[in-house]
Amino acid sequence: MVSKGITVYSYISVAGYEIEFSVPNGRIINNENDNHSAKDLEVESGNIPGRENYTGRFIWRVLQNSREIANRYNDINSLTGNLEGGNMKSTLEDQSIFIDNVIISYGFYDAGSGQAGLTDKDQCFVTVTANQSTWMGSLAPQGSPAALKPFSRFVLVAPHDDGMATMQNSDAVINALDATNLLKFRENIPEIQWFGDLLPPEVLVHLLPDIVYALAITQKDTITSMLGLGARYFEFRPAFPVPLFTEISHLENKPYFQHACIPGLAYNVFLDQVVAFLDTHVAEIVTIHIRWDGIVGECRHPTTDELDAAMETALSKSMSNGQLKCGTIDCLTRSIDELRNSGQRLICMIEADKYDSWTAQAHATLTAAPILERFESMNTQGQESHPLTVLQCQATSQSIKEVLVYSVFAANAATSCLSETKARLDQQTLPWIRDNVLTRLQAEKPIVVMNDFIDGATVDVAINLSRSRLAL
């Protein structure tokens, strides 16, 4: 008898909901008491009908008072461990489900044989939380005592590398590359050189989509969906493409979110989605932090005039008749209602200083331990000299050579090493933030909780901390 293991994780914060995970002859039903826990199932050949059939179905169902409202599945071969079918075969297609005023976020990792420290068990997480499109207005209604408190009392959720939820623009470049101009990618992305040492250029160029997917895809929802989930802080790295990329492809020469030199979402598209959201959610406030960390030199940064023009163009499309305005970093210290009354519900700052938990060494990990050590090192005194504090939950395991190489050679659309660590690390980082932020980080500064594949559990932690800080 052969089998393939699956570790399942769930988070529920809405009354009356349960999540059922099942395989042939195996079932787990989780409720809110099972939040931040991990449980295991096995797709065992002995439980699959048919003498020569090794494929069994793994399925999750979200139940509201025993009534199914959503499900997703994958068919898993218990002999090879491979996915044979299903609707969770691509991380980018695992987009959050908005239904009955709740949001269901989920993800699936297709594990290999456990090489390079990676797990050999498939991973699946599901969160069920309230629709948080209006959470700021609910916590601090206009005219309430809470709304008189400074904006800095909020704990804001940030999708890590928020512009990397699409391969559309990077594919435009990759599909135009050949073995000759592949050199430009190798020059600007050191990790690609790891493969260049193993493969000839004509082979490497065909692996590029898998390499880029493993390196750069950190989100799976649209900006509009992230806002609906409750995200209110976005670090965006807008820059023009490497000139060669616009020469050989149909990519328009304008600013995109850049991961090194990999183009993600266009900056104007990002701004349009934020403005459209703020038009219809008049008590919400969104913060944009323009940065250029890690962008290669050939990707030209927009000038101040170009950034201002992009913002003005986006605001000109607002349906608010000029009532929606852009504020600066000074808005962080003003009261919530003051920002609403002035229309400055879109705060934009450029390369502001921050008290950040991230270091390259700590986050190049497959475990939560070094990230938690960074959290433990932070304190109120450290906050005081910085305008904002950032706690980063995600691992950057693609920085580990063996992990990235194995993930790419075993690649399909659900084998990113970033999805391998997502739920397992959240199980430890989010409870730490929930239990420690109020006592360890007490400065009058906004706190940002950043994560890959943004989900309801991350948002709930931030909203509950915001509620407590507004009550102080």
Rounded Cα distance between 207 and 81, Å, is 22
Instruction: HSE, CB side, 13 Å, CA atoms: give it for residue 322.
Output: 0
Q: E strands, 91-213, where?
A: 97-99, 102-109, 122-130, 155-159
pLDDT digits (tens, 9 = 90+) for 121-178: 999 999 999 999 999 999 999 999 999 999 999 999 999 999 999 989 999 998 898 8
Name the burial class of residue 231, with classes exposed (0-12), middle (13-18) and buried (19+) by CB atoms within 10 angstroms of its CB: buried
Q: Where are the alpha helices (DSSP H) in 91-166?
A: 135-139
What's the confidence (pLDDT) of residue 180?
Answer: 79
Rounded Cα distance between 45 and 364, Å, is 36
Closest Cα partner for 404 from 245, 264, 262, 217?
Answer: 217
**DSSP 8-state assignment for residue 412:** -
Rounded Cα distance between 413 and 107, Å, is 12
The SS3 call for residue 262 is strand
The two three-digit tokens of residue 284, written as one number: 């919400």
Backbone angles phi, psi at 458, to 5 degrees: -60, -45
Q: How confident is the model at residue 411 (pLDDT cuts 50, 70, 90)?
A: low
Mean pLDDT computed over 188-208: 79
Mean pLDDT computed over 3-24: 98
pLDDT digits (tens, 9 = 90+) for 237-262: 999 999 999 999 999 999 999 999 99
Who's near 142: CB < 8 A, 6+ residues apart? 283, 337, 340
**DSSP 8-state assignment for residue 153:** G
What's the confidence (pLDDT) of residue 186?
Answer: 78
pLDDT digits (tens, 9 = 90+) for 356-405: 999 999 999 999 999 999 999 999 999 999 999 999 999 999 899 899 88
Contacts 24+ apart (CB under 8 A), 30-38: 34/10, 35/10, 35/11, 35/457, 36/9, 36/11, 36/426, 36/427, 36/430, 36/431, 36/457, 37/9, 37/10, 37/427, 38/7, 38/8, 38/9, 38/423, 38/424, 38/427
Mean pLDDT of the chain: 95
